[in-house]
Amino acid sequence: MSGNSVRLDAISKTLSYQLPKAINYTEEPTGKLFATNVFSLPVMKERLSKEVYKSLEKTIKSGTPLDISAADAIASAMKSWAMEKGATHYGHIFYPLTGLTAEKNDSFFSPDNEGGVVSEFSGATLMQQEPDGSSFPTGGIRATHEARGYTAWDVTSPAYLVENPNGLTLTIPSAFVSWTGEALDKKTPLLRSMKALNTHAQRVLALFGHKKIGMVTATAGAEQEYFLIDRNFYMARPDLLTAGRTLFGAPSPKGQEFEDHYFGAINERVQACMYEFERELFKLGVPVKTRHNEVAPAQFELAPVFENSNIASDHQQLVMNVLQKVSAKYGFACLLHEKPFAGINGNGKHVNMSLGNSTQGNLLEPGDNPHSNAQFLVFCAAVIRAVHKYSTLLRASVASASNDHRLGANEAPPAIMSIFLGDQLNDVFEQIKATGDASSSKPSGTLTVGVDTLPPLPKHAGDRNRTSPFAFTGNKFEFRAVGSSQSVARPIMIVNTILAESLDYIATKLEGAADFNKAVQVLLKEIMVEHGAIIFNGNGYSQEWHEEAAKRGLPNLKTTPEALPAYITPEAIALFEKYAILSHDELESIYEVALEQYLKVVNMESNLVVEMSKTIIFPAAVRYQNQLAQTCANLKSVGYTFDTDTLDKVTALVKLLQDSTAALEKFKASESLELLEEAKFVCANTLPMMLEVRKHADALESFVADDLWSLPTYQEMLFIK
């Protein structure tokens, strides 16, 4: 086998990999592990007094504030439970605006002043902590006040134990707010949005005559795509290590064109790793359900059963953490980046969403009687109106430097937001739009809203459209533009908010209507006429759609700097303030932090391109150039001629590499630019310049002698495990 020693070493280590000691799954069946590390409702019921449990359950199930007097009792029960299992530390876990997970841990133990220690954990400590959060970005919110940030226990999301071979930490899901009460995290707005959604969904349900209406919760199930590559290759690629994606790399002779990986048999080591993912997640109460190979080689997917979207969002962060942690144990690096490899499908995170309650069930379930159909059509129309009216907010919620490489790249939905309804539901809404009451003739009969039943709507496959960013899939919508590495909290928060606004609008229009059925028909028609342009059932990847969408006036915000200003339009500010989900300041802070993040990523990547080009690629190229030149000189000296074709090409490429690298290195945005201008500037200049360097480097990769090339190739990373 040829190859550079770094690569050969990585290959041989990969090939000699031995699986860790097998899990004894008969002795400890995975099914029995579910939620064993969670301070769950059943555990609370067992360990709390009836009174305290009732008050806590009420808070969790109906969103009422927790009775403070219960906190001490809960803290004490939580501490004993955790310590019985071996925990020594506790900490609030929170989700700062950067989208990462943050925590600070404290020991349960304090000196007792008599030479020993006591374990302490009061209700006050459970409820609130003050981590030194001054280094978390706030987009300026705190610069003007004080650097204090508080974490507050989110009572609705259960505490859990995080295992480490050397100990356990009691982890308490929390919100993170400034001392003036502004949200510095992603959970707080999500919770606020769920509250608003509940309020207005309940109003609409009441109009349909329901007497008993349970709290309506948003539900979410996020499918997570990821790559697993051997850590030995990962460690030999500074770009993967630092940027999470390859900044260089010629295409593999075999890519994904055979599509032979999709749903294929799963490699044994990968499967062993998946079993452990699932066990670890099960212990944490994350209901993981589905696993399979994805389209790209070395790409996989994992999906849980849906949950209340606040919990689903916390669990999604856990999924990402556990994937990283467990894959390392199996010698893999788990790549969650949206586009780890150019020319190969990237990673998405399809977030399935609906809303429902214990009394009326899933509100996006079409049902099979006219009454529930009309109700379904109203909720569905609310989604249509919301997505059309606020499509730029949805777009902003998935905007990041990394997702820009994926959206619109013929593998993922375009940056144009649209809704896919499927043929039958589309037909129903087309009839509504044309006649007001969907009474035209159709294959399954004539439909009048509120009188007839809908034709059966397909729930699964067959009628699937992978190209749509927001697709109706039988009883839920699937937001497919979400990035694989991002937190789902914000996209869900945006959907909840815009849907709450639509439901508010609908409820306000229908309340007090003399003839309810008629009013529903009129309203549905109005919504379709005004907002039907968002519906598109065709191929979202096609050029025709881009043209058609432009004609329909649907925004196509291709890059993050174009997408982010949607957060701070007067319309957005009014929307979020009206429902008390985000203040003007909080929106400004979200916007600024997202811009800063974008700039940091692009700048870091550009520095990395320069460094790798100068210290890895250029040296390999000139060594090869030198070998060719020496061969040429040697041959000449004994009277032979040497075809310098390769030497000429390599020399030309070396020059191009050097020049493009020097240009990128020198290139700096002017410091006087505003953040947005700077982001636009680097988007338009730095990114293309990075690609220019890459172009020459990748061309050199196909010339330079294999034994001089130290970066693991696409072929090696994607196919050897």
459: phi then psi, degrees, rounded to nearest 5? -95, -25
- 219, 190 contact by CB (below 8 A): no
Nearest residue (beta carbon) to ligand ADP: 221
Would residue 409 be called left, alpha or beta, if left means φ above 0 and alpha means ψ between -120 and 50 degrees?
alpha
665: phi then psi, degrees, rounded to nearest 5? -65, -40
Residue 581: burial class (beta carbons within 10 Å; 0-12, 13-18, 19+):
buried
Report how far residue 293's alpha carbon sits from residue 278's, in angstroms, rounded to the nearest whole number.
Answer: 15
| Candidate list 303, 377, 399, 654; residue touching ligand ADP; CB under 6 A | 303
CA end-to-end distance (rounded Å), the chain: 16
| Candidate list 82, 196, 220, 425; residue touching ligand ADP; CB under 6 A | 220
Cβ atoms within 10 A of the Cβ of 675, count? 17
Decide whether 23 or 305 has the Cβ nearer to ligand ADP: 305
Decide whether 133 or 221 has the Cβ nearer to ligand ADP: 221
Decide whether 405 or 480 has the Cβ nearer to ligand ADP: 480
Partner in contact with 202, chosen from Mg ion, ligand ADP, none, beta carbon below 5 to 8 Å by kind: none
Shortest distance, position 290 Cβ to ligand ADP, whole Å: 6
DSSP string, 455-473: PPPP-STTS--TT-SEEE-
Query: Using CB under 6 A, which residues numbered 75 to 114 contact ligand ADP?
Result: none
Partner in contact with 420, chosen from ligand ADP, Mg ion, none, beta carbon below 5 to 8 Å by kind: none
Q: Write out the two tokens for 367.
A: 């049902």
Decide whether 249 or 366 has the Cβ nearer to ligand ADP: 366
Shortest distance, position 476 Cβ to ligand ADP, whole Å: 4
Residue 304 as a binder of ligand ADP (CB under 6 A): the answer is yes
Residue 458 as a binder of ligand ADP (CB under 6 A): the answer is no
Query: Using CB under 6 A, which residues numbered 329 to 368 contact ligand ADP?
Result: 352-354, 362
β-pair partners for 90? 106, 170
Partner in contact with 606, chosen from Mg ion, ligand ADP, none, beta carbon below 5 to 8 Å by kind: none
| Candidate list 21, 32, 212, 460; residue touching ligand ADP; CB under 6 A | 460
Partner in contact with 237, chosen from ligand ADP, Mg ion, none, beta carbon below 5 to 8 Å by kind: none
| Candidate list 306, 332, 420, 567; residue touching ligand ADP; CB under 6 A | 306
Cβ atoms within 10 A of the Cβ of 684, count? 11
Partner in contact with 303, chosen from Mg ion, ligand ADP, none, beta carbon below 5 to 8 Å by kind: ligand ADP
How does DSSP classify residue 615? I
Decide whether 212 or 460 has the Cβ nearer to ligand ADP: 460
Residue 263 as a binder of ligand ADP (CB under 6 A): the answer is no
Query: Using CB under 6 A, which residues numbered 276 to 295 contact ligand ADP?
Result: 290
- Least Cα distance to 623 among 711, 698, 696, 703 occurs for 703
Q: Which stretch binds ligand ADP (CB under 6 A): 229-237, 471-479, 630-638, 696-704?
A: 471-479
* Sequence-ordered list of residues with C-beta below 8 angstroms from that of 335, at least 6 positions apart, any chain: 226, 227, 228, 229, 240, 244, 245, 347
334: phi then psi, degrees, rounded to nearest 5? -95, 120
Decide whether 353 or 416 has the Cβ nearer to Mg ion: 353
Q: Write out the two tokens for 536.
A: 């598109």
Decide whether 431 or 475 has the Cβ nearer to ligand ADP: 475
Decide whether 49 or 290 has the Cβ nearer to ligand ADP: 290
DSSP string, 353-382: EEEEETTTEETT---SSHHHHHHHHHHHHH
Shortest distance, position 355 Cβ to ligand ADP, whole Å: 8
Give how many residues touch Mg ion by CB under 5 A. Answer: 1
Report how far residue 392's alpha carbon sits from residue 384's, in angstroms, rounded to the nearest whole number.
Answer: 14
Decide whether 75 or 355 has the Cβ nearer to ligand ADP: 355
Report how far residue 76's alpha carbon sits from residue 56's, in angstroms, rounded to the nearest whole number.
Answer: 14
Decide whether 75 or 364 has the Cβ nearer to ligand ADP: 364
Report how far residue 513's alpha carbon sits from residue 508's, in angstroms, rounded to the nearest whole number.
Answer: 10
Query: Using CB under 6 A, which residues numbered 683 to 702 contact ligand ADP?
Result: none
In three-state secondary structure terms, 559 is coil
- 188, 108 contact by CB (below 8 A): no
Shortest distance, position 354 Cβ to ligand ADP, whole Å: 3
Q: Write out the two tokens for 572.
A: 């957005």
Decide whether 224 or 521 has the Cβ nearer to ligand ADP: 224
Print the binding letters for residues 43-72 with ligand ADP: x by CB under 6 A, - otherwise.
------------------------------
Residue 305 as a binder of ligand ADP (CB under 6 A): the answer is yes
Shortest distance, position 670 Cβ to ligand ADP, whole Å: 46
| Candidate list 123, 221, 285, 331; residue touching ligand ADP; CB under 6 A | 221
Decide whether 178 or 313 has the Cβ nearer to Mg ion: 313
Residue 476 as a binder of ligand ADP (CB under 6 A): the answer is yes
Longest dimension (CA), the chain: 104
Residue 487 as a binder of ligand ADP (CB under 6 A): the answer is no
Query: Using CB under 5 A, which residues numbered 335 to 354 contact Mg ion?
Result: 350
Query: Using CB under 5 A, which residues numbered 350 to 389 contact Mg ion?
Result: 350
Partner in contact with 345, chosen from Mg ion, ligand ADP, none, beta carbon below 5 to 8 Å by kind: none
How does DSSP classify residue 444? T
Give the C-alpha distances (Å, rounded to integers) separating 707 from 2, 5, 6, 239: 6, 7, 9, 20
Residue 219 as a binder of ligand ADP (CB under 6 A): the answer is yes
Shortest distance, position 362 Cβ to ligand ADP, whole Å: 5
Partner in contact with 680, chosen from ligand ADP, Mg ion, none, beta carbon below 5 to 8 Å by kind: none
Report how far residue 696's alpha carbon sits from residue 618's, in angstroms, rounded to the nearest whole number.
Answer: 10
DSSP string, 191-259: HHHHHHHHHHHHHHHHHTT-SS-PPPEEEEEEEEEEEEEEHHHHHT-HHHHHHSS-S--PPPSS-STT-
Binding site for ligand ADP (CB under 6 A): 219-221, 223, 290, 303-306, 352-354, 362, 460, 473, 475-476
Binding site for Mg ion (CB under 5 A): 350
